[in-house]
Chains A and B, each alone.
Chain A
Amino acid sequence: MREIEANTVIEKVKDLCIDANCEVPECLLSALRVAREREDSPSGKAVLGIILRNAEIAREERVPICQDTGIAVVFVEMGEDVRVKGGNLKKVINEGVRRGYKEGYLRNSMCDPFTRENTGDNTPAVIHFDLVPGDKLKLIVVPKGGGAENMSGVTRLRPSDGVEGFKDFVVTRVRESSGNACPPIIVGVGIGGTFEQTALLAKKALLRPVGKPSTHPELAKIEKELLKDINDLGIGPMGLGGRTTALAVHIETFPCHIASLLVAININCHAHRHKEAIL
């Protein structure tokens, strides 16, 4: 059994939190540049230009892209032949988040749901564990802002509602989000599974490189159709009108019960942040 020191994991999670908040992935920047070229709306073009300039400033000055540095969502893929030595993995990840948010001058956005009292260090992180073959530990840190997360939703359709049913649900949810989700957005869609699983599928769909189509040809076609339907809404950058409402739609599916068709949409703002590392 391979062993990794707890401190190595803490330091890595800390760095991932800071890097994810100050640097957006290149796939997002190229999608934004293409969108700026194609955008017809003058205010939409201006907004896209500001977003691109903001990304440069954030990277150069190590300042967060957005003041909402998010809930720290962490996806963990734990090899079956590796263990973390010298600390409970959940505690170790939370310690990394605590240090990352403090040392990176990131905002603490976590609070009690009722008293609204801030936890003071952006913990607890929301951690999703998965066991995989091998002896590696993969960590993906996804700071998730409140504005776009608030626009997400889960619904249960009748199986007979089919493809048109879930397309309607997705487009309607995007229309209702208007400028609140900070468009241009990335749309994650989960279809199938159980209630909690469909939501997780939608979140995982956001981890795919921006615009990379589904490996399933039929789903890839639906992703393309949905992207067109969403961009035809005219919402545009920041909801002020324009052609660019979404940069990509990513769909993930899982088999489901014969009685069910659960669908979830998890929206990400244009500050599409995630960073990963393999230890």
Chain B
Amino acid sequence: MSDTNPLQAGDDETGALIETDALIIGAGPCGLFAVFELGLLDIKSHVVDILDKVGGQCAELYPEKPIYDIPALPVVTGQELTDRLMEQIKPFGPTFHLGQRIDALSRETDGRFRLTTDRGQVFVAKVVVIAAGGGSFTPKRPPLEGIEAYEGASVFYSVRRMKDFADQDVLIVGGGDSALDWTLNLQPIARSLTLLHRRDDFRGAPHSVDKMRALVASGAMRLLIGQATALHGADGRLERVTVKTKEGEEQVACTRMLPFFGLTMKLGPVADWGLNLEENLIPVDTEKFETSVPGIFAIGDINAYPGKLKLILSGFHEAALMSQAAHRIVYPDKKLLFQYTTSSSSLQKKLGVR
């Protein structure tokens, strides 16, 4: 059994190339269960997810919501299901690479796949399993006209380099922890800072709210209650934002804007990997759940085939069949013997129960 904590493994990327049997994209329930099914067939996995935690939608969207259609679990929350899957796959010691997105995929001359994350981590894998659900979670773009033109120069959805905000007139929009944390972190270096939120109530941690209010009281920053309705500037450089408040309209001068409106799911770079797509889904066969590129599989909500149901249980089944096909690629000379975990000594050994 592996003694590494899979949640912590992979946090420190060395940048060195990682070779693996399977690279699983997505740490939602289907990606996690794929670790199990592949593991039973001696196929080692690395798992990449854009979120900073495992569980996918189950952890991000509905950790507390009960799910009623997982076989043999009459009721289980999204978080519990995630925790149980993590327990189940522990024997196979997967390595997680969280907070990263696979941006590029290409083929090596030996037929393996080379994948690179947005943080520069490179994997070379014999098979790729896309278990990316509704796509990668990306920050929501406020539907303000022309906002795209300002992105990357004046409008940012995360802070990569604090110095980009030094001596700038910063407008932060939102009422959660991201908005509050960046308000507190950027206020000391910004020329001016305004926090804009639609109401005078904040979802963020109370102590952050207190600190922010203290800064407002001391005149170090401004809190504005209202909603942004229009952006103004030229050549990608933001100059001011129109804000609708209870009193009417106000113009807020700013050179940097950080909107924090939560996350949405977008197909993302998967669209550029040369796979056949149908309406943002990846068509697969129902024998192997393989995409139009041999060796790349797609399971769970992201795939499409006649009769597809977007249920977690369908993804589990897909993971099992995909693994059989993956075995033929990873171990082309080995005969695959069908075995039950109830009776097979070799499977039980892998599971660490024998």
Indicate, yes or no, whether A interacts with B.
no
Please give the residue numbers on chain B whose beta carbons come within 8 Å of chain A beta carbons, in ascending order: none
